[in-house]
Structure 1
Amino acid sequence: MRLLSGYIKGARLWKGAKYVESNHISNAAFLRARIEFISAFFAPEEVSQIWLTFSDPQYKSPNSRLSSPVFLNKYRGMLKRGGVVHLKTDSRFLYEYTKAVCEVNSLKVLVQTEDLYGELDRLRPLVDAEVYEVSTFYETMFREQGYKINYLAFVIDHEGEYRQPMVPQEFDSDYWRSVEGPRLLFGHDSAETRRRKLLDAVGQ
Protein backbone atom coordinates (compact mmCIF):
# COMPACT_ATOMS: atom_id res chain seq x y z
CA MET A 1 0.00 0.00 0.00
CA ARG A 2 1.29 3.45 -0.92
CA LEU A 3 0.38 6.55 1.06
CA LEU A 4 0.26 10.07 -0.35
CA SER A 5 -0.29 13.23 1.66
CA GLY A 6 -1.40 16.41 -0.08
CA TYR A 7 -0.93 19.84 1.49
CA ILE A 8 -0.07 23.39 0.50
CA LYS A 9 1.97 24.54 3.53
CA GLY A 10 5.62 23.72 2.97
CA ALA A 11 6.64 23.64 6.64
CA ARG A 12 4.19 20.85 7.46
CA LEU A 13 5.17 18.86 4.39
CA TRP A 14 8.82 19.22 5.38
CA LYS A 15 8.09 17.92 8.88
CA GLY A 16 6.22 14.93 7.50
CA ALA A 17 8.90 14.19 4.92
CA LYS A 18 11.59 14.42 7.59
CA TYR A 19 9.73 11.89 9.73
CA VAL A 20 9.33 9.53 6.77
CA GLU A 21 13.01 9.80 5.91
CA SER A 22 14.20 9.36 9.51
CA ASN A 23 12.02 6.28 10.01
CA HIS A 24 12.88 4.74 6.62
CA ILE A 25 9.25 4.62 5.47
CA SER A 26 9.37 3.65 1.81
CA ASN A 27 5.69 3.71 0.82
CA ALA A 28 4.86 7.36 1.57
CA ALA A 29 5.06 10.47 -0.61
CA PHE A 30 4.01 14.12 -0.39
CA LEU A 31 2.35 16.41 -2.89
CA ARG A 32 2.44 20.18 -2.51
CA ALA A 33 -0.59 21.45 -4.39
CA ARG A 34 -3.90 23.17 -3.86
CA ILE A 35 -6.66 20.65 -3.23
CA GLU A 36 -8.74 22.20 -6.02
CA PHE A 37 -6.29 20.68 -8.53
CA ILE A 38 -6.02 17.24 -6.91
CA SER A 39 -7.61 15.34 -9.79
CA ALA A 40 -4.90 16.56 -12.19
CA PHE A 41 -2.28 14.42 -10.45
CA PHE A 42 -3.97 11.01 -10.62
CA ALA A 43 -5.09 8.66 -13.35
CA PRO A 44 -8.65 7.27 -13.30
CA GLU A 45 -9.13 4.65 -10.56
CA GLU A 46 -5.58 5.11 -9.27
CA VAL A 47 -6.64 5.78 -5.66
CA SER A 48 -8.20 3.25 -3.26
CA GLN A 49 -9.08 5.48 -0.29
CA ILE A 50 -9.23 9.17 0.58
CA TRP A 51 -8.85 10.45 4.14
CA LEU A 52 -10.23 13.85 5.13
CA THR A 53 -8.75 14.41 8.57
CA PHE A 54 -9.72 17.48 10.58
CA SER A 55 -10.50 19.64 7.57
CA ASP A 56 -11.67 23.23 7.96
CA PRO A 57 -15.51 23.13 8.26
CA GLN A 58 -15.75 26.20 5.99
CA TYR A 59 -18.93 27.46 7.66
CA LYS A 60 -19.62 30.20 5.11
CA SER A 61 -18.48 28.43 1.93
CA PRO A 62 -20.26 25.12 1.22
CA ASN A 63 -18.36 24.49 -2.01
CA SER A 64 -15.04 24.77 -0.15
CA ARG A 65 -15.83 21.89 2.22
CA LEU A 66 -13.71 18.90 1.28
CA SER A 67 -16.74 16.60 1.45
CA SER A 68 -18.90 18.85 -0.74
CA PRO A 69 -20.29 17.77 -4.13
CA VAL A 70 -17.62 19.92 -5.81
CA PHE A 71 -14.86 17.78 -4.33
CA LEU A 72 -16.73 14.47 -4.52
CA ASN A 73 -16.83 14.98 -8.27
CA LYS A 74 -13.03 15.40 -8.29
CA TYR A 75 -12.51 12.34 -6.11
CA ARG A 76 -14.78 10.22 -8.30
CA GLY A 77 -12.41 10.72 -11.22
CA MET A 78 -9.48 9.12 -9.40
CA LEU A 79 -11.07 6.69 -6.90
CA LYS A 80 -11.45 3.05 -7.79
CA ARG A 81 -14.98 1.74 -8.07
CA GLY A 82 -16.08 1.09 -4.51
CA GLY A 83 -13.30 3.32 -3.14
CA VAL A 84 -13.93 4.75 0.31
CA VAL A 85 -13.81 8.31 1.62
CA HIS A 86 -13.04 8.57 5.35
CA LEU A 87 -14.02 11.71 7.25
CA LYS A 88 -12.50 12.18 10.70
CA THR A 89 -13.32 15.44 12.44
CA ASP A 90 -13.93 17.20 15.73
CA SER A 91 -16.55 19.34 13.95
CA ARG A 92 -20.12 18.16 14.44
CA PHE A 93 -21.09 20.73 11.81
CA LEU A 94 -18.89 19.14 9.12
CA TYR A 95 -19.91 15.63 10.17
CA GLU A 96 -23.64 16.39 9.92
CA TYR A 97 -23.14 18.22 6.63
CA THR A 98 -21.31 15.23 5.14
CA LYS A 99 -24.04 12.88 6.35
CA ALA A 100 -26.59 15.11 4.60
CA VAL A 101 -24.53 15.03 1.38
CA CYS A 102 -24.51 11.24 1.55
CA GLU A 103 -28.24 11.09 2.15
CA VAL A 104 -29.37 13.42 -0.63
CA ASN A 105 -27.06 11.69 -3.12
CA SER A 106 -27.95 8.15 -1.95
CA LEU A 107 -24.31 7.34 -1.16
CA LYS A 108 -23.56 4.16 0.74
CA VAL A 109 -22.47 4.87 4.32
CA LEU A 110 -20.29 2.12 5.76
CA VAL A 111 -19.67 3.41 9.29
CA GLN A 112 -20.82 6.50 11.17
CA THR A 113 -20.36 7.66 14.73
CA GLU A 114 -20.46 10.91 16.67
CA ASP A 115 -18.03 9.53 19.26
CA LEU A 116 -15.36 7.26 17.76
CA TYR A 117 -13.50 6.53 20.98
CA GLY A 118 -16.60 6.39 23.17
CA GLU A 119 -18.06 3.70 20.90
CA LEU A 120 -14.82 1.89 20.17
CA ASP A 121 -15.96 -1.45 21.58
CA ARG A 122 -18.85 -1.48 19.09
CA LEU A 123 -16.84 -0.10 16.19
CA ARG A 124 -13.62 -2.08 16.53
CA PRO A 125 -14.91 -5.06 14.47
CA LEU A 126 -16.23 -2.68 11.78
CA VAL A 127 -13.20 -0.49 11.06
CA ASP A 128 -9.53 -0.93 10.24
CA ALA A 129 -7.10 -0.41 13.09
CA GLU A 130 -5.64 2.79 11.62
CA VAL A 131 -8.97 4.52 12.21
CA TYR A 132 -8.34 4.56 15.97
CA GLU A 133 -4.63 3.77 16.30
CA VAL A 134 -3.32 6.64 14.13
CA SER A 135 -3.90 10.08 15.64
CA THR A 136 -3.04 13.43 14.06
CA PHE A 137 -1.72 16.43 15.98
CA TYR A 138 -5.11 18.14 15.87
CA GLU A 139 -6.95 14.98 16.86
CA THR A 140 -4.80 14.59 19.96
CA MET A 141 -5.21 18.25 20.84
CA PHE A 142 -8.99 18.29 20.49
CA ARG A 143 -9.39 15.04 22.44
CA GLU A 144 -7.36 16.56 25.27
CA GLN A 145 -9.77 19.51 25.22
CA GLY A 146 -12.67 17.09 25.64
CA TYR A 147 -14.10 17.12 22.13
CA LYS A 148 -15.61 13.96 20.70
CA ILE A 149 -14.22 12.69 17.41
CA ASN A 150 -16.74 12.09 14.64
CA TYR A 151 -16.03 9.46 11.99
CA LEU A 152 -17.83 8.69 8.74
CA ALA A 153 -16.82 6.25 6.00
CA PHE A 154 -18.75 6.22 2.74
CA VAL A 155 -18.58 5.15 -0.90
CA ILE A 156 -19.03 7.86 -3.53
CA ASP A 157 -20.12 5.65 -6.46
CA HIS A 158 -22.88 7.69 -8.06
CA GLU A 159 -24.32 8.31 -11.50
CA GLY A 160 -24.83 11.90 -12.58
CA GLU A 161 -24.09 15.12 -10.73
CA TYR A 162 -23.82 15.29 -6.97
CA ARG A 163 -26.01 17.91 -5.35
CA GLN A 164 -25.79 20.05 -2.25
CA PRO A 165 -28.29 19.45 0.57
CA MET A 166 -31.00 22.09 0.60
CA VAL A 167 -30.78 24.53 3.51
CA PRO A 168 -32.46 24.32 5.96
CA GLN A 169 -34.72 21.44 4.87
CA GLU A 170 -31.98 18.84 4.39
CA PHE A 171 -29.18 20.43 6.39
CA ASP A 172 -29.80 23.11 9.01
CA SER A 173 -26.47 24.92 8.81
CA ASP A 174 -27.44 27.62 11.32
CA TYR A 175 -28.37 25.05 13.94
CA TRP A 176 -25.23 22.94 13.58
CA ARG A 177 -23.05 26.04 13.51
CA SER A 178 -24.64 27.14 16.79
CA VAL A 179 -23.77 23.89 18.59
CA GLU A 180 -20.08 24.04 17.67
CA GLY A 181 -17.86 24.80 20.64
CA PRO A 182 -14.82 27.08 20.45
CA ARG A 183 -11.87 25.67 18.54
CA LEU A 184 -8.80 27.10 20.22
CA LEU A 185 -5.33 26.21 18.93
CA PHE A 186 -2.69 26.35 21.62
CA GLY A 187 0.43 25.33 19.73
CA HIS A 188 2.79 23.31 21.88
CA ASP A 189 1.29 24.12 25.29
CA SER A 190 0.97 21.22 27.69
CA ALA A 191 -2.39 19.48 27.97
CA GLU A 192 -3.01 21.08 31.37
CA THR A 193 -2.24 24.57 30.03
CA ARG A 194 -4.61 23.99 27.12
CA ARG A 195 -7.39 22.94 29.48
CA ARG A 196 -6.84 26.02 31.64
CA LYS A 197 -6.87 28.36 28.63
CA LEU A 198 -10.01 26.71 27.31
CA LEU A 199 -11.80 27.12 30.65
CA ASP A 200 -10.74 30.76 30.77
CA ALA A 201 -12.00 31.29 27.22
CA VAL A 202 -15.48 29.96 27.98
CA GLY A 203 -15.67 31.76 31.34
CA GLN A 204 -15.59 28.76 33.67
Structure 2
Amino acid sequence: MSPSAITKAVPLPPSRPVPKFSTHPVITPSSILPKVASDTVPAWVQPDLSRLLQVEHNPGSYASRSVSLVNVDPGAIFSRISSPTPATCAYSSVQASKDLHIELNCDLVYINHSCSPTLVFDMSRWEIKVNPDLEGGLKVGDELTFFYPSTEWDMAQPFDCHCAQPECRGRISGAKDMPEMVLRKYWLNPHIEELLLEKKTTNGNGSA
Protein backbone atom coordinates (compact mmCIF):
# COMPACT_ATOMS: atom_id res chain seq x y z
CA MET A 1 0.00 0.00 0.00
CA SER A 2 1.39 3.40 -0.98
CA PRO A 3 2.05 5.99 1.73
CA SER A 4 -0.60 8.27 0.22
CA ALA A 5 -3.27 5.66 0.88
CA ILE A 6 -2.59 5.57 4.60
CA THR A 7 -4.83 7.94 6.54
CA LYS A 8 -3.84 9.29 9.89
CA ALA A 9 -5.56 7.36 12.64
CA VAL A 10 -7.77 9.39 14.91
CA PRO A 11 -6.93 8.57 18.54
CA LEU A 12 -9.79 7.06 20.50
CA PRO A 13 -10.95 8.89 23.61
CA PRO A 14 -9.66 7.36 26.81
CA SER A 15 -12.03 4.77 28.21
CA ARG A 16 -13.91 5.78 31.30
CA PRO A 17 -13.15 3.77 34.41
CA VAL A 18 -15.78 1.27 35.43
CA PRO A 19 -17.48 2.58 38.58
CA LYS A 20 -16.82 0.57 41.69
CA PHE A 21 -19.54 -0.07 44.19
CA SER A 22 -18.98 -0.74 47.86
CA THR A 23 -21.99 -3.03 48.13
CA HIS A 24 -23.59 -5.56 45.84
CA PRO A 25 -27.19 -6.75 45.84
CA VAL A 26 -27.72 -10.16 47.34
CA ILE A 27 -30.24 -12.15 45.34
CA THR A 28 -31.83 -15.24 46.78
CA PRO A 29 -31.55 -18.02 44.17
CA SER A 30 -34.95 -18.96 42.82
CA SER A 31 -34.04 -22.60 43.36
CA ILE A 32 -34.50 -22.26 47.14
CA LEU A 33 -37.71 -20.21 47.12
CA PRO A 34 -40.99 -21.95 47.96
CA LYS A 35 -42.74 -23.22 44.83
CA VAL A 36 -46.04 -21.47 44.03
CA ALA A 37 -48.40 -21.37 41.07
CA SER A 38 -47.28 -18.98 38.32
CA ASP A 39 -50.45 -16.89 38.70
CA THR A 40 -50.18 -16.56 42.49
CA VAL A 41 -48.25 -13.95 44.46
CA PRO A 42 -46.12 -15.92 46.95
CA ALA A 43 -47.47 -15.63 50.49
CA TRP A 44 -44.04 -14.66 51.85
CA VAL A 45 -43.82 -11.53 49.66
CA GLN A 46 -46.49 -9.45 51.41
CA PRO A 47 -46.53 -11.59 53.63
CA ASP A 48 -50.03 -13.06 53.81
CA LEU A 49 -49.67 -14.78 57.16
CA SER A 50 -53.17 -16.26 56.98
CA ARG A 51 -51.82 -18.53 54.23
CA LEU A 52 -48.62 -19.38 56.08
CA LEU A 53 -49.46 -20.09 59.70
CA GLN A 54 -52.24 -20.75 62.16
CA VAL A 55 -52.09 -19.48 65.73
CA GLU A 56 -53.37 -21.80 68.45
CA HIS A 57 -54.44 -19.79 71.50
CA ASN A 58 -54.18 -22.17 74.44
CA PRO A 59 -55.12 -21.49 78.08
CA GLY A 60 -52.33 -20.48 80.43
CA SER A 61 -49.45 -18.02 80.35
CA TYR A 62 -47.30 -18.10 77.20
CA ALA A 63 -49.08 -21.28 76.05
CA SER A 64 -50.09 -20.10 72.58
CA ARG A 65 -48.18 -21.39 69.58
CA SER A 66 -48.19 -21.27 65.78
CA VAL A 67 -48.18 -24.12 63.26
CA SER A 68 -47.33 -24.17 59.58
CA LEU A 69 -49.97 -24.25 56.84
CA VAL A 70 -47.39 -24.86 54.11
CA ASN A 71 -44.64 -27.25 53.08
CA VAL A 72 -41.31 -25.46 52.55
CA ASP A 73 -37.88 -26.84 51.66
CA PRO A 74 -34.88 -26.48 54.02
CA GLY A 75 -33.22 -23.07 53.66
CA ALA A 76 -36.14 -21.55 51.72
CA ILE A 77 -37.93 -18.36 52.73
CA PHE A 78 -40.96 -18.88 54.95
CA SER A 79 -41.84 -15.19 55.38
CA ARG A 80 -40.39 -11.71 55.22
CA ILE A 81 -40.48 -9.39 58.23
CA SER A 82 -42.48 -6.51 56.79
CA SER A 83 -44.05 -4.52 59.63
CA PRO A 84 -41.44 -4.06 62.38
CA THR A 85 -41.17 -1.03 64.64
CA PRO A 86 -38.22 -0.10 66.89
CA ALA A 87 -38.73 -1.15 70.49
CA THR A 88 -37.04 -1.61 73.82
CA CYS A 89 -35.86 -5.06 74.83
CA ALA A 90 -38.92 -6.99 76.04
CA TYR A 91 -40.29 -10.52 76.17
CA SER A 92 -42.07 -9.97 72.83
CA SER A 93 -39.28 -8.13 70.99
CA VAL A 94 -36.68 -9.53 68.59
CA GLN A 95 -33.10 -8.25 68.51
CA ALA A 96 -32.31 -7.14 64.96
CA SER A 97 -28.76 -5.83 65.48
CA LYS A 98 -26.37 -4.91 68.29
CA ASP A 99 -28.34 -1.76 69.05
CA LEU A 100 -31.83 -2.42 67.69
CA HIS A 101 -34.79 -4.37 69.03
CA ILE A 102 -38.09 -4.56 67.16
CA GLU A 103 -41.68 -5.55 67.70
CA LEU A 104 -43.04 -7.76 64.91
CA ASN A 105 -46.60 -6.34 65.11
CA CYS A 106 -48.15 -9.47 63.61
CA ASP A 107 -48.77 -13.16 64.25
CA LEU A 108 -45.07 -13.92 63.78
CA VAL A 109 -44.79 -13.03 67.47
CA TYR A 110 -46.33 -16.46 68.22
CA ILE A 111 -43.27 -18.28 66.86
CA ASN A 112 -41.88 -19.78 70.06
CA HIS A 113 -38.44 -20.92 71.15
CA SER A 114 -37.15 -24.43 70.64
CA CYS A 115 -33.71 -25.97 71.09
CA SER A 116 -34.46 -27.93 67.91
CA PRO A 117 -35.96 -25.13 65.78
CA THR A 118 -37.87 -25.41 62.52
CA LEU A 119 -37.04 -21.83 61.45
CA VAL A 120 -34.26 -19.24 61.59
CA PHE A 121 -34.76 -15.48 61.86
CA ASP A 122 -32.22 -13.89 59.49
CA MET A 123 -32.32 -10.31 60.77
CA SER A 124 -29.58 -9.15 58.40
CA ARG A 125 -32.03 -9.77 55.52
CA TRP A 126 -35.34 -9.36 57.40
CA GLU A 127 -36.34 -12.88 56.44
CA ILE A 128 -37.59 -15.95 58.25
CA LYS A 129 -36.30 -19.12 56.64
CA VAL A 130 -36.75 -22.82 57.18
CA ASN A 131 -33.89 -24.20 59.25
CA PRO A 132 -31.38 -25.44 56.63
CA ASP A 133 -30.65 -28.42 58.89
CA LEU A 134 -34.32 -29.43 59.19
CA GLU A 135 -34.48 -32.89 57.66
CA GLY A 136 -37.23 -33.08 55.07
CA GLY A 137 -38.05 -29.38 55.42
CA LEU A 138 -41.08 -27.75 57.02
CA LYS A 139 -44.35 -29.68 56.80
CA VAL A 140 -47.98 -28.67 57.24
CA GLY A 141 -48.82 -28.97 60.94
CA ASP A 142 -45.24 -28.53 62.19
CA GLU A 143 -44.87 -26.10 65.07
CA LEU A 144 -43.06 -22.91 64.08
CA THR A 145 -40.09 -22.30 66.35
CA PHE A 146 -36.68 -20.65 66.38
CA PHE A 147 -33.68 -20.66 68.70
CA TYR A 148 -33.95 -17.44 70.71
CA PRO A 149 -30.20 -17.02 71.37
CA SER A 150 -29.68 -16.86 67.59
CA THR A 151 -31.09 -13.32 67.78
CA GLU A 152 -31.05 -12.40 71.49
CA TRP A 153 -27.84 -11.50 73.31
CA ASP A 154 -29.26 -10.63 76.75
CA MET A 155 -32.95 -11.42 77.17
CA ALA A 156 -35.31 -9.25 79.19
CA GLN A 157 -37.19 -12.28 80.49
CA PRO A 158 -35.12 -15.49 80.82
CA PHE A 159 -37.01 -18.76 81.19
CA ASP A 160 -36.55 -22.48 81.67
CA CYS A 161 -37.07 -24.27 78.37
CA HIS A 162 -39.41 -27.26 78.30
CA CYS A 163 -39.18 -28.06 74.59
CA ALA A 164 -38.63 -31.74 75.50
CA GLN A 165 -36.01 -32.12 72.78
CA PRO A 166 -32.98 -34.37 73.50
CA GLU A 167 -30.73 -31.33 73.02
CA CYS A 168 -32.78 -29.05 75.32
CA ARG A 169 -30.50 -26.33 76.74
CA GLY A 170 -32.49 -25.70 79.92
CA ARG A 171 -32.21 -22.09 81.07
CA ILE A 172 -32.53 -19.66 78.14
CA SER A 173 -31.33 -16.12 78.86
CA GLY A 174 -29.60 -15.15 75.61
CA ALA A 175 -26.38 -15.93 73.78
CA LYS A 176 -24.33 -13.98 76.35
CA ASP A 177 -24.79 -16.68 78.98
CA MET A 178 -24.54 -19.75 76.74
CA PRO A 179 -21.24 -21.59 76.12
CA GLU A 180 -19.88 -20.84 72.67
CA MET A 181 -19.42 -24.54 71.93
CA VAL A 182 -23.19 -24.94 72.34
CA LEU A 183 -24.02 -21.86 70.24
CA ARG A 184 -21.86 -23.20 67.41
CA LYS A 185 -24.37 -26.00 66.91
CA TYR A 186 -26.89 -23.39 65.68
CA TRP A 187 -27.28 -20.83 62.92
CA LEU A 188 -26.45 -17.41 64.43
CA ASN A 189 -27.13 -13.86 63.26
CA PRO A 190 -24.17 -11.62 62.37
CA HIS A 191 -24.77 -9.36 65.38
CA ILE A 192 -24.55 -12.36 67.72
CA GLU A 193 -21.31 -13.43 66.02
CA GLU A 194 -19.97 -9.89 66.50
CA LEU A 195 -20.95 -9.77 70.16
CA LEU A 196 -19.37 -13.18 70.76
CA LEU A 197 -16.12 -11.90 69.27
CA GLU A 198 -16.25 -8.79 71.46
CA LYS A 199 -16.84 -10.95 74.54
CA LYS A 200 -13.94 -13.22 73.64
CA THR A 201 -11.64 -10.23 73.03
CA THR A 202 -12.64 -8.59 76.30
CA ASN A 203 -12.12 -11.79 78.28
CA GLY A 204 -8.79 -12.33 76.55
CA ASN A 205 -7.63 -8.89 77.70
CA GLY A 206 -8.60 -9.72 81.27
CA SER A 207 -11.16 -6.92 81.38
CA ALA A 208 -14.15 -9.07 82.29
Same fold (TM over 0.5): no
Q: TM-score, normalised by structure 2?
A: 0.31
Q: Which has the higher contact order (CA 8 A, sep 6+)?
A: 1
